[in-house]
Amino acid sequence: MTTISPSLSLPAHGDKKNSSFFDEYLVKLLEERDSQGLTDAIQEIDAMMLTVEPGKSIEYIAELSLMSAYNYQYSLESDSHWTHVLRISDLNPDLIIREVKHEGIRGIFRSLNEVYPIGLDKPHSRYIGEILRVTDLSEVVKLQQKRGFCFFSKAETAKLELPENLAIIKPSPYTHNIVAYLQRESGQPRHYQLGIKFISEQAQQVCIQAKLRQQDLGISELILPVDHLATRIYSQNREVAILEWLSLSSYYYWGALDIIDQNSSTNITKSVHYEEELRSPAKVFTANNTPYFVNHLKIFPSPTENFVRNYGPRLHHIAMTVKDGVINGEEHIDYVVKAIREQGKSFLLDVIGSKSEGLKQVFSTASEHSSLIVEYVQRYGGFQGYFHKDNVAELTFAAGIEEELLRMETESNKRQGYS
């Protein structure tokens, strides 16, 4: 009797066809991961890290405190960074916001922005990557090094002013994100060994104000933790980026949707350990079906590839779950979006989807502080899918229009000597 690997026991979904290389190594890598004990040793996403421009972290904390369920916890000061920790609860991943103290500070994450035209405009603003909770840090590092993954040394981690209790893998050549491991037993408090811990009165005050505003608007109980994280990558890197993430995590391949109208595919991975995304968000990878340099031959759309060429491979949006239900005759997601719009935040399109399709979704405009989009998603009756194909096509199209306008504005400013 053949025993099926736990990481391969769950069914795949969607209609995207993968290569024989992907199909072969998906099985080999996950079987190896299970047999070596890595699947059991690597648990949920414990935190997400990003950086913003100098002087922008407080404004971004205010924005996120209104638009999400996150609350400010505390700050850490090191030589050239302020690091702010936001939290929903001990059962949901933290959000770590880093701010450089002055514009002249350089480093590897800035260099990943500077070769891309719009990325260059905000050289410090980028998503860095995820921290995964592990049960035995030294064993996980040893096994991953044997599999070919390269970690920053302790000295390099200190120079980057990242927490010393993390083991950090160097940025992916496919996504430009890092993956870090933090040893922590379930139920133990999270902590990050970095600099001096303090409470920022400014951060605390803007968070309190935003939470009071959420209550006044009647949305404080409607916005739930993170549903998924969506990364955009080059077409040729789709399969290897997914396989790399699966090798580094304890996630499995949920499947992929082929969005032919937008010349792209949306590829989903989920935690083996936690069925609920609110405990460990799904990781989504979006890529063009064809590379940019052939699209003109058939007049294919290229919104995903255009984003990557302008910003670089990186996280595109963070999706927040909206509680299923109706308030004052409106679906919760419609009520939340209307309330946030009235506070001055704009969205790329109206809420799309329906109860019959299983979910409704919408994209905000990109944050001026982090360049990240916030997505809201409401599922009906425990619907397990991530997207309806029509929804994805509309979301991708709308995001593509905004990114093209940003590109044109950037080029215009440079011609006029503004940048």
Same domain, yes or no, for 183 and 227?
Answer: no
Question: How many Cβ atoms sit within 10 Å of the Cβ of residue 20?
Answer: 7
Same domain, yes or no, for 144 and 285?
Answer: no
Asked which of 208, 223, 242 is the last residue of a domain, the reply is 208
Would 407 be classed as within a structural domain?
A: yes
Question: How many Cβ atoms sit within 10 Å of the Cβ of residue 329?
Answer: 7
Same domain, yes or no, for 157 and 276?
Answer: no
Same domain, yes or no, for 180 and 221?
Answer: no
Distance CA 383, CA 152 (A): 40
Question: How many Cβ atoms sit within 10 Å of the Cβ of residue 412?
Answer: 11
Distance CA 373, CA 47 (A): 18
Res 404 pLDDT > 70: no
Would 20 be classed as within a structural domain?
A: no
Asked which of 148, 182, 208 is the last residue of a domain, the reply is 208
Q: What does the DSSP assignment read for 227-283?
A: EEEEEEE-GGGHHHHHHHHHHHSSEEEEEEEEEGGGTEEEEEEEESS-SSTTTS-EE
Same domain, yes or no, for 261 and 162?
Answer: no
pLDDT, tens digit, for every residue of 126-166?
999 999 999 999 999 999 999 999 999 999 999 999 999 99
pLDDT, tens digit, for every residue of 255-273?
999 988 889 999 999 999 9
- The first and second tokens of residue 133, run together, are 């909770």
> Residue 204 is part of which domain span?
40-208
Res 297 pLDDT > 80: yes
Instruction: Identify the pLDDT of residue 419.
Output: 45
Would 70 be classed as within a structural domain?
A: yes
DSSP annotation of 98 = E
CB 268 within 8 A of CB 386: yes
What is the enclosing helix (H) or strand (E) of 138? helix 137-146
- pLDDT bucket at 1, cuts 50 / 70 / 90: very low
Same domain, yes or no, for 313 and 243?
Answer: yes
Would 156 be classed as within a structural domain?
A: yes
Same domain, yes or no, for 234 and 371?
Answer: yes
DSSP annotation of 313 = S
Give me the residue label for tokens 């960074």.
81
Same domain, yes or no, for 200 and 242?
Answer: no
Q: Cα dihedral angle (144, 148, 149, 154), rounded to 10 degrees?
A: 90
- Mean of the per-residue pLDDT values of the chain: 91
Res 206 pLDDT > 80: yes
Would 262 be classed as within a structural domain?
A: yes
Would 1 be classed as within a structural domain?
A: no
CB 92 within 8 A of CB 45: no
Question: How many Cβ atoms sit within 10 Å of the Cβ of residue 202?
Answer: 14
Of 367, 375, 382, whose CA–CA distance to 286 is shortest? Answer: 375
Same domain, yes or no, for 44 and 191?
Answer: yes
More confident residue, 404 or 1: 404
Res 412 pLDDT > 50: no
Q: Which amino acid is at 378?
A: Q
CATH number at residue 156: 3.10.180.10
Asked which of 157, 181, 208 is the last residue of a domain, the reply is 208
Domain count, the chain: 2
Instruction: Identify the pLDDT of residue 415.
Output: 46
Helix (H, G, I), strand (E, B) or coil at 384: coil
Spacing of C-alpha 181 from chain mean position = 17
Distance CA 366, CA 239 (A): 27
Would 363 be classed as within a structural domain?
A: yes
Would 134 be classed as within a structural domain?
A: yes
Same domain, yes or no, for 198 and 237?
Answer: no
pLDDT, tens digit, for every residue of 342-359?
999 999 888 988 888 889
Helix (H, G, I), strand (E, B) or coil at 32: helix
Instruction: Identify the pLDDT of residue 402.
Output: 63
Same domain, yes or no, for 201 and 323?
Answer: no
CB 212 within 8 A of CB 62: no
Same domain, yes or no, for 221 and 189?
Answer: no
